[in-house]
Amino acid sequence: MISRSLLIIKDPKMLRPIFRSPLLYLTLCSRSKFSAPSRPFSSIQDSHIPNLARHKDWLSPNEVIKIFETLKDPNFTLPVFDQISQRKDYKPNEALYSAVINKLAQAKNFNAIETLMERIKLERKCRLSEDFFYNVIKIYGVLGGRINSAIRILFDMHNYKCWPTVKTFNGVLNMLVSTNQFEVVHEVFMGSSKLGIEIDACSLNIIIKGMCRCGKLDDAFLVLDEFPKQNCKPNVRTFSTIMHGLCDRGSLDEAFALLDRMETEGVEPDAIIFNILISGLRKQGKISEGIELLDKMQGRGCDPNPGTYQEVLYSLLHAKRFAEAKAFMHKMINMGVNPSFESYKLIIPGFCDKKLASDLDWVLRQMMRQGFVPKMGMWKLILSSILSDSNAYNCFSYQEIIGN
């Protein structure tokens, strides 16, 4: 049995003759005082890590991976890897490289990852899958914000004897669009032929998303025209992305023309398409047209989703048609669709202005049933409304609501 007194030994060299298992040694180091030094690791002596290079026991690949997975301080990763790579039983594989890279990512040591990637390229001791590079690209681009490094890995994969597929290619495109690297997107997109990649509908959809996000809707339509040339067919997402950009710009006529084009090209619109159009109509104050569109989509066999009903409700609330809004909320609730908290925030001031205490009572009860708690500003409005109307006490059971 291990004595607890060993755990307080300040000099780790004294532990080496006693413990031969690297896993046990790492466990002890992680629990002792000398396992979390405050200085940079480059200035720490080798005595602060286990001497795995001289450890005589044979280490299986799974044991080596376990060593890195159990490291509590990711700054120990490179020194431990250097020692393991000097062993005769060193046989790296994808799982080991991934464990080391993920540990370096925890330490945000992206320079070390780049150094390791160059070493892997030179060693060529094992085959690496596309998933391995996809993970490295995400670490560079998402965690490290090193977009150029992510792109470089994409175009350098063939030097590791692994060619990217359209999955990784689209992942890089989407990452660039998400980080607003619109100029770089086009450059990477045009490099698809160098990688031997045949772009698909997803690739073109990502480009369209980028065009719409930077306000280049005319260019988005040009990309839409490229679909048949690339032997691709646009889908609902293709049209919804452009339609959303048109509605944000206030170009409702073009948005509805795009709906007609969908029918011509045999793409069936879904609830998201109609939600975008109803929202666009709401922003222009065309409330009745939005309600009519809800009826039309149901007539066409397209089932509304909760977002559809919510958009119509917002339209009524923004138009201050509170009586119709309450009736529509009743309809939603009967259908099992709960109004949003924002809906209650909008309808309460309307009922307060008109001193509709019974309606306020209904709203508060419904909020409680949905688990919403009125904020202080709502209570001030409600109390101000009912206290200014002596008849409100007869229909507004405040204490009963609080009791519920």
Band (pLDDT 50/70/90 cuts) for residue 56 is low
Least trusted range by pLDDT, from 8-22, 194-208, 383-397: 8-22
Q: What is the pLDDT of residue 54?
A: 57
CA proximity to 378, closest of 392, 395, 398: 398
Q: How far is CA 292 from CA 190, 286, 388, in A?
A: 44, 10, 39
Q: CB-based contacts of 277: which residues, under 8 Å, 6+ apart?
A: 243, 247, 252, 255, 256, 259, 293
245-304 pLDDT, tens digit each = 999 999 999 999 999 999 899 999 999 999 999 999 999 999 999 999 999 998 888 999
Q: What is the mean pLDDT of residues 205-222?
A: 94
pLDDT of residue 271: 95
- Gap between the Cα atoms of 383 and 121, Å rounded: 71
Three-state SS at 11: coil
The answer, yes or no, to whether residue 379 has pLDDT greater than 70, is: yes
**How much is the average pLDDT of 338-347?**
94
Q: Any idea which residue has 């998400």 for tokens?
A: 178
Tokens 């005082």, residue?
A: 33
Task: Give the model's pLDDT for residue 11.
Answer: 47
Mean pLDDT, residues 97-108 taken together: 94
Residue 373 has pLDDT above 50, yes or no: yes
Band (207; pLDDT cuts 50, 70, 90): very high
Q: Is 270 helix (H, G, I), strand (E, B) or coil?
A: coil
Q: How confident is the model at residue 21 (pLDDT cuts 50, 70, 90)?
A: very low
The whole-angstrom separation of Cα 294 and Cα 300 is 10
Share of the chain above pLDDT 90, in %: 60
Question: Whole-prediction pTM value?
Answer: 0.76
pLDDT score for 278: 96
